[in-house]
Amino acid sequence: MCLQLTYVVKSGLVGFPLHQLNTKILPTLSATIPTPFPLVFSAPIVSFLSFIFSSPLSLPSSPPIFSPFPSSLPIRKKMATAFSPSKFAAQPFPLNTTSQNNPLTIPTIASPFLGSTRKLIRLCSSSNLNLRRRSGTVVAVSDVVKENKSKSTPNLLITKEEGLELYEDMVLGRAFEDMCAQMYYRGKMFGFVHLYNGQEAVSTGFIKLLKQQDSVVSTYRDHVHALSKGVSARAVMSELFGKTTGCCRGQGGSMHMFSREHNVLGGFAFIGEGIPVATGAAFTSKYKREVLKELDCDHVTLAFFGDGTCNNGQFFECLNMAALWKLPIVFVVENNLWAIGMSHLRATSDPQIYKKGPAFGMPGVHVDGMDVLKVREVAKEAIGRARRGEGPTLVECETYRFRGHSLADPDELRDPAEKAHYAARDPITALKKYLIENNLTSEADLKAIDKKIDEVVEEAVEFADESPVPPRSQLLENVFADPKGFGIGPDGRYRCEDPKFTEGTAQV
Amino acid sequence: MLAIARQRMLGQSFKKILPAVSVLRSYSSAAKQITVREALNSALDEEMSADPKVFLMGEEVGEYQGAYKITKGLLEKYGPERVLDTPITEAGFTGIGVGAAYYGLKPVVEFMTFNFSMQAIDHIINSAAKSNYMSAGQISVPIVFRGPNGAAAGVGAQHSQCYAAWYASCPGLKVLSPYNSEDARGLLKAAIRDPDPVVFLENELLYGESFPVSDEVLDSSFCLPIGKAKIEREGKDVTITAFSKMVGYALKVSEMLERDGIYAEVINLRSIRPLDRSTINTSVRKTNRLITVEEGFPQHGVGAEICASVVEESFSYLDAPVERIAGADVPMPYAANLERMAVPQVEDIVRAAKRACYRSVPLAATA
């Protein structure tokens, strides 16, 4: 039932500041290597931590090398996906038992997921060249992988349509956020605006796999999550301008994007606040299926949050309950290494967030969040798990925000070398390169998409500009779902039209 | 126990010193201007250098120099052991601060805004406010919780609530809300020296405003008494009580009313708990009319408490019903025009004053 060939696309931690990492991470890594995999690497880990990884999307040609003995092991290690199965005995993962005998076999699974398993295997083999530089912690090698390696033509991870869809979504996110910055500096937008530049791969990689009824819960950095989920650019832009045509009629603002139609459940200003809400949405899905007997209800919820949130109590409480009740949720950590000006390494005792999943009985996966294809593969698996009712997953996406925390943040504390390093790994340029190199599309097509998105964003701005501001009567609306309770008086007219409205709202 | 006794002695000796100081420095102000931000920064600096048990804790207080730059320069001066950047764990680090205060340290816990204190409110109320009572005086909690409170500009519903009324209803807490630089300096110093938990509600929009201060204020032992309101402007026709940013509005209103021949007395509450009922009542007995102004939600607000207090103690002196001006009874909307409508404006206060003085009939609300 469970996917056996699980993988860790272990891209290592950021190469900054590494000297701290080595001493901190080393003991913990070896301590958590699960016993079925006696492939504990101490030496390779040191070296892997000191490498900066290269372009993530290049396809390799070298065969995989498998050796169970660390001494003869080059850094280039077969990466298998392991949702740390040994961490929790409660979940029967056959891989535990088989691997002790022969780590090479992967039992065949009669699940619809097998199709993409091949892709995962290919991902492992294909990204082997890249992973050479960042060997993983847990390793499980499969015969299947070896077989597939014999095929000469690498099978691609996406089709042309999917590729263009991903590209368009990421470009929309980027163009929209850049326009937000412009509008903010022109005074059309105000308050707190948190931009998502650089992290588009995470949003696109995950949300494009969802159905309309699946829900997304996010934090204040939620413009692009709403856009990926399907909220129109016009609605989001109007909301940011505070106009009545916005997705929340101008009442929410940048940090509070809600959409019932597209199941975007917010948009929360307090970090950690969205996680219990997302867990509740997942609970509803399970409840509908089991108690209300809507047997085809397999809605999944995605909770997006950052690295700073992973120190917050609510996060741990929800990990516990989601695993306990096997809720269909995926906890997506957008680890961009900085919480305003607080480096993740300064704030966290164990910076490897994905390890916190197994502590609660769910798989913890680390993925390179600057690579949309890798994120998409991990997302497929995690969302698939949730849909099948196997429970939650914690996915840590290592990503980076190109701009400051918000438009009011001077962003002085981040090292320019770090920023440059990640700017070179821009997910959009990487996907572009992948699409062109694999002849999935042409430069002209992509430029056409760029142009189209520019027009969409400009039209959104025009629409927002021309939209009216909320009328005075809207001030008191929507406080309650039951309108008679508040905004509308007993005579059917708005209370704010009552002559005593300004009297300290005592009458309201 | 000894620490507590020592704290009380220190507190009393400060109080003895202060009148002497003010006598010595009774020359008129040289009217130096400092911003509220500088006032708070200097107050923290002086208190930290005077007492090694004082330390700062909060998000971004250290390397980022403070989310609103209030703690600028303090990390360089006092080091990371005394200026602690915390992870984003309000409940956790507030609890840690309270625990440190139990054992005799004097933490100053910063909330990036008081909205985030809701994640920690269990510790503020249950661990800090109630401890002295529950332990029958054995454990006092000399902690200060500070941060911006109330509405800023365009920050939405979850960043704009005013917590004065919530904290002021809790026995065991002292709640202070400064307006100008003098208030900020004096009250923060008093709060840090105070042996009880103090909630110090600043205002983000006032941080950048400059006010003139006298040399007495700039002295390092300057302290304002907790529980005393200040009469910012004397008058005889109507009393306006306000705190924090609304004091500025009330002062503007009093200037506008003066042109119409109404002389308003403006009281800067400074201390929401304990509320200076005697000053308010004395003023109402003089003017016979009262307007309370606040930015927070109207129901069960600070104005409601003041109104009740005045009705209880000075009912026969009132010539007009008490007018309460408060924020709109809605979560703060984001759209700029709606936000303006949701917060009291100067015109609202002027209209209320005129209604209280029977100079105008209630007009229909103009759109």
pLDDT of residue B3: 47
Which pLDDT score, from 0 to 100, does residue B358 have? 87
- Of the partner residues A190, A479, A503, the one whose CB lies closest to the CB of residue B323: A503
Residues of B in contact with A472 (CB under 8 A): 341, 367
B119 interaction partners in chain A (CB closer than 8 Å): 270, 272
| Residue from the list A270, A472, A500 with its beta carbon closest to the beta carbon of B119 | A270
B159/B150 Cα distance (integer angstroms) = 8
Q: Which residue is associated with the tokens 């406010």?
A: B129
Q: Are strands B271-273 and B174-176 parallel, antiparallel or unpaired?
A: antiparallel
Residue-level pLDDT at A475: 87
Q: What is the C-alpha separation between B352 and B109, in angstroms, rounded? A: 38
Closest partner residue to B158 among A269, A470, A497, by Cβ? A269
> A504 and B326: CB-CB below 8 Å?
yes
Measuring CA to CA, which residue among A361, A338, A330 is closest to residue A218?
Answer: A330
Q: Is B159 a catalytic residue?
A: yes
Rounded Cα–Cα distance for residues A507 and A415 (Å): 55
Does B179 have pLDDT greater than 70? yes
Q: Which tokens belong to A90?
A: 């409660």
**pLDDT at residue A16, rounded to an integer:** 39
Q: Is the pTM of this model over 0.95?
A: no
Smallest Cα distance from B266 to chain A, Å = 18
Q: How far is A309 from chain B, CA to nearest CA, in Å?
A: 7
Residues in chain A: 508
Question: How high is the pLDDT of residue A114?
Answer: 32
Instruction: With CA atoms as reference, report the closest residue to A435 among A111, A59, A81, A54.
Output: A59
Average confidence (pLDDT) over B139-151: 95
**Using N-to-C axis directions, what is the helix angle for A200-207 and A372-388, rounded to 10°?**
40
If one compares A187 and B10, the residue with the highest pLDDT of the two is A187
**What angle, rounded to 10 degrees, do the helices at A443-466 and A160-185 form?**
40
Where do the domains of chain B lie?
33-218, 230-357
Strands B210-213 and B32-35: antiparallel
pLDDT value for A507: 41
Question: Which of the residue ranges A84-93, A488-497, B78-87, B342-351 would you say has the lowest mean pLDDT?
Answer: A84-93
Predicted pLDDT at A412 = 87
Q: Give the span between the Cα atoms of A308 and B88, in whole angstroms.
A: 6
Find chain B residues with C-beta within 8 A of A505's C-beta.
298, 326-329
Q: Could you tell me if A103 and A140 are in contact, meaning their C-beta atoms sit under 8 angstroms apart?
A: yes
Dump pLDDT digits (tens) for B256-313.
999 999 999 999 999 999 999 999 999 999 999 999 999 999 999 999 999 999 999 9
Give the angle B114-B118-B123 at the CA atoms, nearest 5°.
105
Q: With CA atoms as reference, report the closest residue to A265 among A250, A280, A253, A251.
A: A280
Q: Do A479 and B325 touch (CB under 8 A)?
A: no
Please report, for residues A20, A191, A441, B135, B196, the alpha-carbon distance to residue B340 in angstroms, rounded to integers and kept in the order given. 49, 13, 51, 46, 37
pLDDT in the model for residue A483 = 57
CB-CB contact of B303 with B275 (8 Å)? no
Environment class of A482 (CB within 10 Å of its CB; exposed 0-12, middle 13-18, buried 19+): exposed
Would you call B123 a catalytic residue per the annotation? Answer: no
pLDDT given at position A452: 96
**pLDDT 10s digit of each residue in chain A, 508 long?**
444 433 433 443 333 343 443 333 333 333 343 444 333 334 444 444 444 444 444 434 444 433 344 444 344 444 444 443 333 334 343 333 433 444 443 344 333 333 334 444 444 444 444 444 444 333 333 444 444 444 444 578 889 999 999 999 999 999 999 999 999 999 999 899 999 999 999 999 999 999 999 999 999 999 999 999 999 999 999 999 999 999 999 999 999 999 999 999 888 989 989 999 999 999 999 989 888 888 888 999 999 999 999 999 999 999 999 999 999 999 999 999 999 989 999 999 999 999 999 999 999 999 999 999 999 999 999 999 999 999 999 999 999 999 999 998 888 889 999 999 999 999 999 999 999 999 999 999 999 999 999 999 999 999 999 999 999 888 887 887 765 545 566 666 666 556 555 444 444 3
By C-alpha distance, the chain B residue nearest A504 is B325
* Segment holding B141, helix H or strand E: none
CATH 3.40.50.970: does it fit domain B33-218?
yes
Measured CA to CA, the distance from residue A431 to residue A437 in angstroms comes to 10
B265 Cβ contact partners less than 8 Å away, ≥ 6 residues apart: B231, B233, B234, B235, B236, B237, B238, B239, B240, B283, B286, B287
Tokens representing residue A262 in the block = 């597209």
Q: Which two tokens stand for residue A329?
A: 């949720």
CATH number of A159-462: 3.40.50.970
The CATH-assigned architecture of domain B230-357 is: 3-Layer(aba) Sandwich (3.40)
What's the mean pLDDT when you consider all of chain B?
90
User: B interface mutation test: which of A505, A507, A508 has the most B CBs within 10 A?
Assistant: A505
ipTM (interface pTM): 0.77
Least confident residue range of A182-191, A464-473, B20-29, B189-198: B20-29
Length of chain B, please?
367
Which of A309, A340, A474 minimises the CB distance to B64? A340
What is the rounded distance in angstroms from the CA atom of residue B161 to the CA atom of residue B157? 7
In this predicted model, which residue has the larger pLDDT, A55 or B354? B354
Tell me whether residues B64 and A503 touch, CB distance under 8 A. Answer: no
Which residues have C-beta within 8 Å of that of residue B292, sequence separation ≥ 6? B240, B241, B242, B302, B303, B306, B307, B322, B323, B324, B325
Q: What residue segments make up the domains of chain A, in order of their start?
A: 2-66, 159-462, 472-507
> Quick check: B348 and A502 in contact, CB under 8 A?
yes
As a whole number of angstroms, the distance between CA B69 and CA A408 comes to: 13
- B63 neighbourhood in chain A, CB within 8 Å: 341-342, 413
pLDDT at B24: 47
Per-residue pLDDT reduced to its tens digit, B237-265: 999 999 999 999 999 999 999 999 999 99
For residues A470 and B335, what is the distance between their CA atoms, to the nearest angstrom?
Answer: 7
> What pLDDT is attached to residue A130?
44
Question: Is there a contact between A269 and B326 if contact means CB atoms under 8 Å apart?
Answer: no
